Chains A and B, each alone.
Chain A
Amino acid sequence: MKQMNWKELPHAGTVLKAGNANEYKTGSWRTYKPRWIEENCIQCLFCWIYCPDSAVMVKDEKRAGFDFDHCKGCGVCAMECPGKKGNKAIVMEEEGK
């Protein structure tokens, strides 16, 4: 992407396009990656509530996978996941494994 020069910048550096953080892909920051284990999931959606990057996708009130363009691999979803009978529905695994 061609960078703007100082004369091209918006006045005062104001970000005029709402929600453009979505264009900034942070997925490459991950060193650990969440993996979903369906049989342990109770669909409580705690992972969706807690995800700081809105990277847990939901469809028809059910989990619909991770948005790996934005998931930074922080592990909050895995930490908060209550699982079923002590078995986590989200586990963190080293990226690339």
Chain B
Amino acid sequence: MGITTTKTVAVTGNQAVAEALRQLNPDVMPAYPITPSTGIMESFTSFVSNGKVDTEMILVESEHSAMSAGIGAAAAGGRVATATSAQGLALMWEMLHIASGYRLPILMALVNRALSAPLNIHGDHSDGMGMRDCGWIQLFSENAQEAYDNTIMAYRIAEHKDVRLPIAVNMDGFIISHSIESMQFIADADVTKFVGDYIAIDPLLDIDNPKSIGALVLTDYYMEHKRAQHEAMINAKKVIQDVSAEFAKLFGRKYELFESYRLEDAEVVLVALNSAAGTIKDEVDRYREKGVKAGLLKPRVFRPFPYAEVGAALKNAKAVCVMDRADSYGGYGPLFMEIASALAPLKGPVLFNKIYGLGGRDLMPHDVDKVIDETIEVAKTGKVTMLKDYLSVRS
């Protein structure tokens, strides 16, 4: 099968993800609305009401309940999806570990938003970074198209027999979730065929074979369970690559573990997740025209993090600025820590860290230029004045 019929549309990021969920037609969707992910639920509940999906929509009383209901439905043997943001995800935190520990391939659309306090509804990555250690596969998306495509691929990755882990697809709140972009939808039949049927492992509703999940495991077995979970996450890398390759073959859009933008010969490199990459690409082009060998590395897969591949892609640069849209107060930005780990075994470039865009503050082209200029200076001198600093903050 070659490239199939696609439909070009103008939709918001939320509408794009809701459309992907309609096409995936999960068995159960427990959700509780929270800005900026509410649009996904609004669209999806109308699909449910209009009979466009077979999904049982469960309107719960909190996000903790949303994830709990999702875990129950997934353990029973259903394909489950949910959507949330920020405080909602924070309230789910306890249950996120249970979803991954029970090895339930639940799909979460995570519309990234800053965490309170101070109260803020706009986009940054503190929610997504807060679930880093919860055992979920984490994919990041630059725009509505990538969020849609990652969502279409999500069950194939999460449900693979070597993986069986929950998966979160991230996109930036408001910047992507509420902006209308031109993008392409895949035909319903092609999505159905690509995703395939779900065959649950040891579902509770298989009543001829009664079983228990969630049994108490003490000092003699807990580590063995965690080691098995770690292995599933290691396996996820190859599965993501295989599923992405199949997706590219069928639908024409190629996705790697990370995107390399003008990176091959780059000496001055920026690393950033999600929507900021769009602005950075424009500025990389401008600097390239001026003769600066600038480039961008945009991670797509944050868990499992592809350390070896990222290390190989960055090792020949002279200076790298890792831009974090979240902070680990008293530490470096979470993305910086990953990049530093990736480069630790190599004789790599000089690294430094900028915290930007918290609480949805815009990353303007002139902000990116400041970062590229500083990275050029670091590449020249080999010296970093401030290893971690906040970008464009009033002082």
Contacts and interface: CB of A to CB of B under 8 A. Distances in A.
A4 B217 CA distance: 13
Nearest to B215: A15
State which size class the interface on A falls in: 10 to 19
State which size class the interface on B falls in: 20 to 34
B164 A11 contact: yes
Nearest to B213: A14
Contact of A14 (B202, B220, B221, B223): B202
Contacts, number: 51
A7 B220 CA distance: 15
Contact of A15 (B101, B164, B212, B220): B212
Contact of A12 (B202, B209, B223): B202
B42 to A, nearest CB: 34
A3 B101 CA distance: 20
Interface of A is mostly: loop
A26 B201 CA distance: 31
Max chain B Cβ within 10 angstroms of own Cβ: one of A10, A15, A18: A15
Nearest to A13: B225
B210 interface: yes
A72 to B, nearest CB: 16
Interface of B: 101-104, 164, 201-202, 209-213, 215, 217, 220-221, 223-225, 227-228, 231
24 contacts: A4-B224, A6-B223, A6-B225, A6-B231, A7-B228, A9-B221, A9-B225, A9-B228, A10-B202, A11-B202, A12-B164, A12-B201, A12-B213, A13-B101, A13-B102, A13-B213, A13-B217, A13-B221, A14-B202, A14-B211, A14-B212, A16-B209, A16-B211, A17-B211
